[in-house]
């Protein structure tokens, strides 16, 4: 999926979570994220494509891409729920040292998960449980296709409608 599609689904999920309190075990309630939680959410949303040579994140953080590439090809184990969980644990550990709210790590994980689920809509799919299982979750939407652009636009529109309904007097 293209970056803008990840961002559109990311925005929709963020808005839905923002207006509904969601509580996760260990991580607390995820409503009303602060600035830091939002930044971590965005980082989680774009981090999985560190395994792709031409992605936004790989171009920004070349060194991290080079290191990742030694171990993984595009949509290999980096596009796995376990890698997301492992990174979340690491972030949670670092946050706890500084006595930050652990929900920030939860937001990172949700961003990561939204990225994986969005990629799972493509024919290439995602090995969600790699390396434990080769099961690939796939969908019919080709990356860069008109379908993807239309869906991305619809998702943005849905997010904007929810924003307009909850935070303005327009609707």
Interacting residues toward Zn ion by CB under 5 A: 48-49, 119
3-class secondary-structure state, position 31: coil
User: Cβ distance 68 to 52 under 8 Å?
Assistant: no
Q: What is the DSSP string of 73-116?
A: -TTSGGGSHHHHHHHHHHHHHHHHHTT--THHHHHHHHHHHHHH
C-beta of 21: minimal distance to Zn ion in Å? Answer: 29
Q: Select 95 or 126, whichever has its Cβ closest to Zn ion.
A: 126
Q: Select 28 or 125, whichever has its Cβ closest to Zn ion.
A: 125
Place of tokens 């644990």: 89
Q: Tell me the two tokens of residue 51.
A: 């395994």
Q: Select 103 or 151, whichever has its Cβ closest to Zn ion.
A: 151
C-beta of 101: minimal distance to Zn ion in Å? Answer: 27
C-beta of 40: minimal distance to Zn ion in Å? Answer: 18
Q: Cα-Cα-Cα-Cα dihedral of 105, 107, 108, 110, to 10°?
A: 130
Could you tell me how far CA 38 lies from the centroid of its own chain?
Answer: 12
C-beta of 127: minimal distance to Zn ion in Å? Answer: 12
Place of tokens 């943005």: 156
Q: How far apart are CA 106 and CA 26, in angstroms?
A: 9
Return the biggest CA–CA distance within the chain. 52
Q: Select 49 or 148, whichever has its Cβ closest to Zn ion.
A: 49
Q: Select 103 or 126, whichever has its Cβ closest to Zn ion.
A: 126
C-beta of 73: minimal distance to Zn ion in Å? Answer: 12
């Amino acid at each position: 999926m293209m970056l803008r599609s990840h961002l559109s689904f990311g925005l929709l999920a963020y808005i839905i979570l923002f207006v509904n309190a969601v509580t996760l075990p260990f991580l607390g309630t995820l409503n009303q994220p602060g600035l830091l939680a939002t930044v971590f959410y965005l980082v989680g949303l774009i981090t999985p494509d560190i395994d792709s040579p031409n992605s936004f994140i790989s171009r920004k953080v070349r060194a991290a891409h080079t290191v990742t590439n030694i171990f993984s090809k595009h949509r290999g184990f980096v596009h796995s729920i376990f890698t997301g969980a492992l990174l979340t644990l690491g972030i949670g550990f670092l946050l706890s040292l500084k006595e930050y709210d652990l929900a920030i790590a939860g937001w990172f994980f949700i961003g990561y998960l939204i990225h994986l689920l969005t990629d799972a809509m493509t024919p290439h799919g995602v090995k969600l449980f790699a390396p434990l299982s080769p099961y690939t979750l796939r969908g019919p939407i080709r990356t860069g296709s008109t379908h993807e652009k239309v869906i991305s636009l619809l998702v943005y529109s849905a997010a904007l409608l929810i924003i307009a309904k909850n935070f303005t007097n327009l609707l």
